[in-house]
A and B are shown apart, each in its own frame.
Chain A
Amino acid sequence: MSETWHQWLTTDTPQSRRQARLAQLYLGWLNFRGNPLAILGLAIILALVAVAAFAPFLATHNPLAQDLSARLTVPGEGGYWLGSDELGRDIYSRILYGSRITLYIVTLVAVTAPLIGLLVGTAAGYLGGWADMVLMRLTDIFLAFPRLVLALAFVAALGAGIENAVLAITLTAWPPYARIARAETLTIRRADYIAAIQLQGAGAMRIITGHVWPMCLSSIIIRMTLDMAGIILTFAGLGFLGLGAQPPLPEWGAMISSGRKFILDQWWVATMPGLAIFIVSLGFNLLGDGLRDILDPKRGSQ
């Protein structure tokens, strides 16, 4: 059975467009499967999603419940697998619930920033002329700011909190996508198939969304996966400075910040959430690295 599937998917003469498309995906998957590090990355991301979804079943404690008699318990003692923090809260359970916050902000930024970038970049590339100049100058201005500092200033202006941190990170994250989308658009703008749709009377909007966007997708997705780690780190940095999620929310960066005072004596309070951030960012980086090897045509031909 699986043999026939394999044959159907790897045939040289696909019978339908759907078969050709699926075959393309299948080939990509075979390629991807050969890269153990990328598989590890994918496994980490899937684990993150699973942990976020099943946090209530996996947790041993209420992440917000304080127990002052069990402050700063050593890992492994008294049912605290990863120890407890300065208010006697279970670090293991807090990390599990913290994955929800991480996933939430990553998803929000991953949906908005590339979309803004796509809009700006493809519009600039396709329309050209003045629109191109104005939009790309705007992009350059935002690129000119170091990311964390601009996000800091935005959060200072908008007030601390998860939503504002997401907004600030989005505002600093879109310019690279605009650059990529514009570069891709410039290469296909003069293509014959675009001319063909133009002759059929399609408007700029229809051409951009229906025929230019799909061509930009693979480079945008690679960039997005590689960007995730940066987003997580920036958000954790904001949380660490007290500008992201507010207490008592179990945000990983804020947890490190509260453990900072005890780092020399109760090392686990700051170390454990940091490990969580590290593992998740590493997962996204490994996955992005693997995806780039497969999807990036320039590297593939080497």
Chain B
Amino acid sequence: MTETIQEDGRRGISAPLLRRLKGLATAVLSLAITMLGLLFVTFVIGRVMPIDPVLSVVGERATPEVYERAFHEMGLDRPILVQFAYYLRDVATGNFGMSLLTARPVSEDIARVFPATLELASIGTIIGVIFGVPIGVIAAVHQGRPVDHAVRLFGLFGYSMPIFWIGLIGLLVFYGILGWVGGPGRLDVYYDDIVPPVTGMILIDSLLAGDAEIFWNAVNHIILPASILGYYSLAYISRMTRSFMLEELGKEYVVTARVKGLSERAVIWRHVLGNVLVPLITVIALSYANLLEGSVLTETIFAWPGLGQYITIALLSADMNAVLGGTVVVGLIFVGLNMFSDILYKLVDPRAR
């Protein structure tokens, strides 16, 4: 401790700046190492795969000469580290190879399916935040009372349900029995391919095209899967909000605000919640990243043509390029969102700098 103080004193004014630069460099370096490790893991998974990558390119009837040449051209006779270097180069240039299933570059496929996942996860997160934060606040204010227990139980229910099961039950009840929402898919079949794809997100595209009918149809289809994802995000967000709120409510400024004569509503919803929102950013980013992942099963249930369904279908048909490409993209998004929330946190909260 004394050492750092001496050091800072000697360096004078430039020390804080230097320390921040150093902190930034460390952050960038650790991010780079994490991403490299992530790519190495997928690379290794791809190598231990019991599927022969050469056969999947040349086909089973290729002559030994053709096979040998393809083997050489794919770089499979090089040392493993060289192969990894090739892999890194490919990923850096967005080349994940060709998908066996669609016979198109995997990167193109992912770019095509990703907006659907983004749309679903975004609506889910919005639902989670809109309901989760107030519920968490109410639970914290009524700590230990029936409302608090009810909220806790409601959250635990969310943590305990298999998402694919609740999706099926949702379809059964709200689509099969009540008929309130649209069935699986993003639109009714006869609306398909009418709106020109601009962003790939139908809710936005239909608005851009000024087609209200298609917009409402899309809303009808997205509301159930998004609510189910939203429930998961709500369970997490409300729980974290509650514990952050409890921590803040015990602080002295709360007493000061009350003594000053502020209304209870102003104290809780403006002063305390205002302070809680900062750490909540991280929680919301994390839950957003989780929804992007959680959509793997949800998309399967709701025939939602997104990244999750793409990976699943590729997996079942042994389309390894597509699986690994999808995994890398999901991993990178995950890491990216985490980093983004860190940075945002530091921007908003001066104490964390």
- In the complex, which range does the number of interface residues on chain A fall in? 35 or more
Q: Does B207 contact A (CB under 8 A)?
A: no
Q: Which B58-72 residues have a C-beta within 8 angstroms of A?
A: none
Q: How far is the CB of A259 from chain B (nearest CB, A)?
A: 8
Residues of chain B with a CB closer than 8 A to A186's CB: none
B209 within 8 A of A: no
Number of A-B residue pairs, CB cutoff 8 Å, is 153
Distance in angstroms between the alpha carbons of A137 and B29 in the assembled complex: 11
B residues less than 8 Å from A147 (CB atoms): 293
Q: Is A81 located at the chain interface by the 8 A CB criterion?
A: no
B169 at the interface (CB under 8 A from A): yes
Q: Which of B153, B315, B318 has a CB less than 8 Å from the CB of A152?
A: B315
- Chain A residues whose CB sits within 8 angstroms of the CB of B152 once the complex forms: 289
Q: In the complex the two chains form, is A152's CB within 8 Å of B296's CB?
A: yes
**Binary interface profile of B, 34-46, with partner A (CB < 8 Å = 1, else 0)?**
1101101110011
Residue in chain A with minimal CB distance to B331: A145
Residue pair B153, A237 in contact (C-beta under 8 Å): no
Distance between Cα atoms of A230 and B246 in the complex (Å): 26
Contact call A241/B315, Cβ cutoff below 8 A: yes
User: Is the CB–CB distance between B315 and A137 below 8 Å?
Assistant: no
**Given A149-B330, A285-B160, do A138 and B37 touch, yes or no (CB 8 Å)?**
yes
Partner pick for A264 among B38, B40, B172, B331, CB 8 A cutoff: B172
Which of B40, B49, B162, B330 sits near A237, CB closer than 8 Å?
A: B162
Q: For B166, list chain A residues within 8 Å (CB).
A: 274
Contact residues in B for A236 (Cβ distance below 8 Å): 162, 164-165
Interface string of B223-258 (1 = CB under 8 A from A): 000000000000000000000001000000000000
Do residues A144 and B331 form an inter-chain contact, with CB atoms below 8 A?
yes
Which residues of the other chain, B, contact A138 by a CB distance below 8 angstroms?
A: 37
Which of chain A's residues has its CB closest to B37's CB?
A141
Whether A253 contacts B162 by the Cβ 8 Å rule is yes
Is the Cβ of A148 less than 8 Å from the Cβ of B162? no
Bound: A284/B159 CA distance, A: 10
CB–CB B49/A240 < 8 A: no
Kindly provide the distance from the CB of B308 to the nearest chain A CB, expressed in whole angstroms: 8
Known contacts A137-B33, A145-B331, A274-B165; is-contact A281 B45 (Cβ 8 Å): no
Q: Determine if B171 and A263 form an interchain contact, defined as CB atoms under 8 angstroms apart.
A: yes
Known: A152-B315, A270-B165. A282 touches B49 (CB 8 A): no
CB pair A156 B37 closer than 8 Å: no
Asked if B315 and A156 sit within 8 Å, CB to CB, the answer is yes
Q: Mark B244-276, 1 if CB is under 8 A from A, else 0.
A: 001000000000000000000000000000000
Closest partner residue, chain B, to A240 (CB atom): B164
Encode A139-151 as 1/0 by CB contact (under 8 A) with B: 0111011111110
Q: A110-152 toward B: CB 8 Å interface, digit per residue (1/0)?
A: 0000000000000000000000000001101110111111101
Whether B86 is near chain A, meaning CB under 8 Å from some CB there, is no
* Interchain CA distance A147-B293 in the complex, whole Å: 8
Q: Is A79 an interface residue (CB 8 A)?
A: no
A264 to B246, CA, bound (A): 44
| A270 closest partner in B (C-beta) | B168
A277 CB–B CB distance under 8 Å: yes
CB-CB nearest in chain B for A155: B315
Provide the bound-state CA to CA distance between A233 and B50, in Å: 27
Q: Is the CB of B159 within 8 A of A229?
A: yes
The answer to whether B30 touches A140 (Cβ under 8 A) is yes
The reply to whether A146 and B293 contact each other, CB–CB distance below 8 Å, is yes
Please tell me which one of the listed residues B34, B46, B165, B176 contacts residue A141 in the complex, with CB atoms under 8 A apart.
B34
Q: B316: CB under 8 A from chain A? A: yes
**Bound complex: CA A259 to CA B301 (Å):** 12
List B contacts of A240 (CB < 8 A). Answer: 162, 164, 297, 300
Q: Say whether A56 faces chain B, with CB atoms less than 8 Å apart.
A: no
CA–CA, A270 and B315, complex, Å: 23
Closest A-chain residue to B319, C-beta based? A156
**In the bound complex, CA of A151 to CA of B205 (Å):** 34
Determine the chain B residues whose CB is within 8 A of the CB of A242 once the complex forms: 316
Task: Give A100-118 interface residues, CB cut-off 8 Å to B.
Answer: none
CB distance from A250 to the nearest CB of B (A): 16
CB neighbours (8 Å) of A264 from chain B are: 171-172, 176
Contact B49 A156 (CB under 8 A): yes
A215 at the interface (CB under 8 A from B): no
A142 to B45, CA, bound (A): 13
Residue in chain B with minimal CB distance to A260:
B168
Given A140-B34, A145-B38, A260-B168: A156 in contact with B323 (beta carbons within 8 A): yes
Residues of A within 8 A of B294 (CB): 148
Is B220 in contact with chain A by the CB < 8 A criterion? no
Given contacts A153-B324, A241-B312, A243-B315, contact A148 B168 (CB under 8 A): no
Q: Is residue B327 contacting chain A, with contact meaning CB distance below 8 A? A: yes
A148 in contact with B37 (CB, 8 Å): no
The answer to whether B341 has its CB under 8 Å from any CB of chain A is no
A residues less than 8 Å from B216 (CB atoms): none
Interface centre among A142, A152, A230 (most CB of B within 10 A): A152
Among A148, A152, A256, the residue within 8 A (CB) of B165 is A256
> Does B48 make an interface contact (CB < 8 A)?
yes
Name the interface residues of A44-91: CB closer than 8 Å to any CB of B. none
A154: B residues at CB distance < 8 A: 45
Given contacts A150-B327, A270-B168, contact A137 B30 (CB under 8 A): yes
20 new A-B contacts at CB < 8 Å, known A144-B335, A264-B176, A277-B162: A137-B33, A140-B37, A141-B34, A141-B37, A141-B41, A144-B37, A144-B331, A146-B293, A148-B297, A149-B293, A233-B162, A236-B165, A237-B164, A243-B315, A253-B164, A270-B165, A274-B161, A278-B160, A278-B162, A284-B160
- Which 4 residue pairs across A and B have the least CB separation, nearest first? A146-B293, A141-B37, A274-B165, A281-B160
13 contacts between A and B (CB under 8 A): A137-B34, A137-B37, A141-B34, A144-B34, A145-B334, A146-B289, A149-B331, A150-B327, A229-B159, A241-B315, A263-B168, A263-B172, A282-B156
